[in-house]
């Protein structure tokens, strides 16, 4: 049974996943949400697939750690995770905002088309893999092969980047404040222009992170993999 607390015009719905199932929660947020603008989820205890495929302007607050695919396929909703997130958080997000207070495991924001993903802690390997237009801000470090085959969008990394950053990068851009262990194929450090400075400033402000944009460097595509080169002998 969903408990809806009415305070004036708002109607926050409260779920306790120690007593209710994730299926019940997801069925509720996919339904007719008359007068409901906020959902509070307690005791997630690492459950998987919480708040997936939400297509409504809801604010969903999750009070703890979540498993894989939390807020996957998100559209319109603001999902706040007060803990850590398992693999694939905000995977294939279309719009809205997903925010992780702690650590995000592998594949955070994979294939995301739009919206903003904010990770206040570190992110695991392949953060932003195959990114297709969303923005990602990471307050800490990212793991190996982050931004692998990222096609469009922006990633701001406030810490360090592990091996293979931006491997096979297309038109996405990565901004890194810390060190880069190694760049992937066809990725290169490029000059920061005025547009880059403005973009980083705006994204950090949106994420609530206060680093100055001048401390970041830009990583973009060298565009050498756009066309087949028969003389390369498969060596890129």
The string of pLDDT tens digits covering residues 193-211 is 999 999 999 999 999 999 9
Average the pLDDT over 2-16 and give the result: 62
CA separation for the pair 194, 182 (Å, rounded)? 26
Average the pLDDT over 215-234 and give the result: 82
Residue 17 counted as domain residue: no
At residue 34, the pLDDT reads 87
> What's the CATH number where 183 sits?
2.160.20.60
185 CB neighbour count, 10 Å cutoff: 14
Residue 19 counted as domain residue: no
Q: Is the pLDDT of residue 4 over 60?
A: no
Please check whether residue 131 is in contact with residue 171, taking contact to mean a CB–CB distance below 8 angstroms. no
Residue 213 counted as domain residue: yes
For 79-117, write each residue's pLDDT tens digit. 999 999 999 999 999 999 999 999 999 999 999 999 999
Residue 22 counted as domain residue: no
- Biggest alpha carbon–alpha carbon distance for the chain: 70
Residue 127 counted as domain residue: yes
Residue 12 counted as domain residue: no
CA separation for the pair 163, 148 (Å, rounded)? 11
| Mean pLDDT over the full length of the chain | 93
Please check whether residue 159 is in contact with residue 141, taking contact to mean a CB–CB distance below 8 angstroms. yes
Q: Is the pLDDT of residue 3 over 50?
A: no
Residue 113 counted as domain residue: yes
Q: For the chain, what is the domain count?
A: 1
Residue 61 is part of which domain span?
46-225
CA separation for the pair 195, 174 (Å, rounded)? 13
Q: Name the H helices within the chain.
A: 22-29, 194-207
Kindly list the distances between the CA atom of residue 94 and the CA atoms of 5, 18, 99, 111, 150, in Å, as whole numbers in the listed order.
Answer: 29, 30, 15, 9, 15
Q: Is the pLDDT of residue 228 over 70?
A: no
At residue 142, the pLDDT reads 98
Q: Is the pLDDT of residue 7 over 90?
A: no
Phi and psi of 226, rounded to 5°?
Answer: -70, -30
For 140-191, write each residue's pLDDT tens digit. 999 999 999 999 999 999 999 999 999 999 999 999 999 999 999 999 999 9
Residue 65 counted as domain residue: yes
Report the share of the chain in percent with pLDDT over 90. 88
């Amino acid at each position: 049974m969903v408990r809806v607390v009415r305070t004036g015009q708002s109607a926050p719905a409260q779920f306790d996943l120690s007593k209710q199932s994730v299926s019940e929660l997801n069925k509720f947020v996919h339904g007719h949400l008359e007068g409901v603008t906020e959902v509070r989820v307690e005791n997630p205890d690492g459950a998987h697939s919480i708040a997936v495929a939400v297509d409504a302007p809801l604010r969903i607050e999750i009070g703890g750690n979540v498993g894989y695919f939390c807020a996957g396929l998100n559209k319109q909703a603001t999902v706040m995770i007060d803990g850590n997130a398992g693999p694939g958080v905000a995977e294939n997000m279309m719009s809205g905002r997903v925010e992780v207070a702690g650590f995000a495991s592998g594949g955070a924001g994979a294939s995301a088309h739009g919206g903003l993903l904010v990770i206040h802690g570190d992110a695991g390997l392949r953060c932003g893999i195959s990114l297709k237009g969303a923005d990602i801000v990471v307050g800490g470090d990212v793991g190996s092969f982050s931004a692998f085959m990222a096609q469009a969008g922006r990633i701001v990394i406030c810490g360090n980047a592990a091996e293979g950053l931006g491997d096979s990068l297309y038109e996405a851009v990565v901004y890194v404040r810390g060190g880069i262990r190694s760049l992937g194929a066809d990725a290169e450090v490029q000059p920061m222009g005025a547009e880059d400075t403005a973009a980083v400033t705006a994204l950090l402000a949106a994420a609530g992170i206060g680093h100055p944009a001048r401390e970041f460097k830009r990583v973009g595509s060298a565009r050498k993999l756009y066309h087949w080169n028969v003389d390369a002998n498969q060596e890129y």
